């Protein structure tokens, strides 16, 4: 069977049992390998069928989000998927070659099914499928936590936090989204929901999180700019908070993307400074508006010591670089007093209010700006 050079390139990364190519219309345009071992059908029977016919319906939502979020030139996976053939599963890696007219090359390797691991695998697949569906349908809650100015305790903005179901911490789902290459889709879904809140509330200012992995995506930045252009009333009221949950590989590219967002009137905040080894490199190479100091340095600030010294020097350095600072986890008046004394510009924490389902202005001696 002759294989085009673009397919050879598309499959070059793969060492797999079955290679398939999925057309932009969602059909299997090409198949080569152990099709019968994975699907119960020969290669020729797969060609022309929708990829959904090849995959267990329980994993349709997860895999659709996984494939749709794949940019030209990008590789994603491996992810574990259940197949339509009974009791069969495979790990799938995907690659979208720019020269391949939108088609996606997929490499599948039969997953070993040990009886003792079946339940754990089933739970993992169910969780992944549920997350993909939640992102696609925006089936998550947003919570809003106030951030105040310390020069007068006026409300400055709310940080937008995502919540899944009844769980308060989104960390497991965010980690899963990064492992499944769904984080960009999740970040944009949250951004869309946040901009809807801005449109409904004149004068409101919101900060949305963006992963270190997502900020490297030109597609995400282009979509974000398009969203702002389509809703001009939100201009100047949207901030992006860059998280360090995933390291940034190309700081120069990330900075270009951040500056494109700043050009659209968006301030940029670096989240949780002090938790990652790359933090000082970020300060050196990224042009930022606000640096958020991790709460572990803030909680014990009132007791002095090395943390207090670190915070004071960090605040001074940031101001010299033209950046403001934000202290998180300010929970008591004593800590707030020390944060003010250190010269921090903004504060966030229980002292001003918990995250709520609606952006509610703080009541503890805090007035709306």
pLDDT digits (tens, 9 = 90+) for 144-185: 999 999 988 789 999 999 998 776 677 778 888 887 778 999
pLDDT at 155: 93
**Do 77 and 196 fall into the same domain?**
no
- Cα 306 to Cα 313: distance, rounded to the nearest angstrom: 11
**Do 64 and 177 fall into the same domain?**
no
CATH number at residue 236: 3.20.20.450
For residue 104, tell me if it sits in a domain: yes
Split at pLDDT 50, 70, 90, the class of 5 is very low
Last residue of a domain, one of 76, 102, 130: 130
- Cα 180 to Cα 350: distance, rounded to the nearest angstrom: 33
Least confident of 3-17, 41-55, 336-350: 3-17
pLDDT at 2: 44
Share of the chain above pLDDT 90, in %: 41
Q: Name which residue leads in pLDDT, 348 or 67.
A: 348
pLDDT digits (tens, 9 = 90+) for 226-275: 999 999 999 999 999 998 766 788 999 999 999 999 999 999 999 988 76
Q: Which domain holds residue 164?
A: 140-368
Q: What is the mean pLDDT of residues 187-213?
A: 95
Query: At residue 118, does pLDDT exceed 60?
Result: no
For residue 271, tell me if it sits in a domain: yes
Last residue of a domain, one of 95, 130, 165: 130
Residues whose CB falls within 8 Å of the CB of residue 202, separated by 6 or more in sequence, listed in order: 233
**Do 100 and 156 fall into the same domain?**
no
The alpha-carbon radius of gyration of the chain (Å, integer) is 24
Pairing of strands 141-149, 154-163: antiparallel
Count of domains forming the chain: 2
Q: What is the mean pLDDT of residues 7-27?
A: 70
pLDDT at 240: 98
Query: At residue 11, does pLDDT exceed 60?
Result: no
pLDDT digits (tens, 9 = 90+) for 285-301: 999 999 999 888 888 78
pLDDT at 142: 95
pLDDT at 113: 55
Split at pLDDT 50, 70, 90, the class of 15 is low
**Do 71 and 148 fall into the same domain?**
no
Q: Name which residue leads in pLDDT, 113 or 54.
A: 54
**Do 249 and 351 fall into the same domain?**
yes
pLDDT at 126: 67
Q: Spell out the alpha helix ranges (H) of the chain.
A: 5-11, 35-39, 43-46, 51-54, 60-68, 115-137, 171-179, 183-200, 218-230, 251-263, 279-285, 295-298, 305-320, 333-341
Average pLDDT, the chain: 84
Q: Name which residue leads in pLDDT, 125 or 231.
A: 231
For residue 135, tell me if it sits in a domain: no
pLDDT at 122: 59
């Amino acid at each position: 069977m002759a294989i085009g050079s673009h397919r050879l390139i598309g499959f070059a990364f793969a060492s797999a049992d079955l290679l398939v190519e999925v057309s932009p219309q969602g059909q299997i345009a090409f198949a080569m390998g152990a099709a019968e071992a994975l699907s119960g059908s020969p290669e020729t029977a797969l060609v022309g069928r929708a990829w959904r016919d090849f995959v267990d319906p329980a994993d349709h939502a997860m895999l659709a989000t996984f494939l749709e979020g794949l940019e030209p030139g990008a590789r994603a996976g491996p992810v574990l998927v259940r197949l339509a053939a009974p009791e069969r599963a495979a790990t799938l890696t995907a690659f979208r070659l720019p020269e391949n007219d939108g088609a996606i090359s997929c490499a599948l390797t039969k997953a070993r099914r040990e009886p003792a691991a079946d339940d754990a695998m089933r739970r993992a697949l169910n969780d992944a499928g549920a997350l993909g569906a939640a992102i696609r349908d925006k089936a998550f809650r947003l919570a809003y936590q106030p951030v105040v100015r310390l020069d007068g305790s006026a409300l400055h903005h709310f940080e937008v936090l995502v919540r899944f179901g009844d769980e308060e911490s989104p960390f497991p789902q965010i980690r899963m989204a990064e492992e499944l290459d769904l984080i960009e889709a999740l970040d944009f879904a949250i951004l869309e929901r946040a901009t809807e809140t801005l449109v409904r509330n004149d004068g409101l200012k919101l900060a949305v999180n963006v992963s270190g992995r997502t900020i490297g995506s030109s597609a995400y930045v282009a979509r974000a700019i398009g969203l702002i252009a389509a809703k001009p009333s939100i201009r100047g009221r949207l901030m992006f908070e860059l998280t360090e949950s995933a390291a940034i590989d190309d700081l120069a590219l990330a900075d270009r993307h951040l500056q494109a967002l700043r050009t659209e009137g968006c301030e940029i905040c670096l989240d949780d400074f002090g938790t990652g080894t790359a933090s000082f490199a970020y300060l050196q190479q990224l042009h930022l508006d606000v640096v958020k100091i991790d709460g572990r340095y803030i909680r014990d600030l009132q007791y002095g010591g090395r943390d207090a010294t670190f915070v004071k020097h960090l605040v001074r350095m940031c101001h010299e670089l033209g950046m403001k600072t934000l202290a998180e986890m300010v929970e008591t008046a004593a800590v707030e007093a020390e944060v003010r004394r250190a010269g921090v510009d903004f504060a966030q924490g229980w002292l001003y209010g918990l995250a709520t389902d609606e952006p509610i202005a703080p009541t503890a001696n805090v007035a709306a700006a």
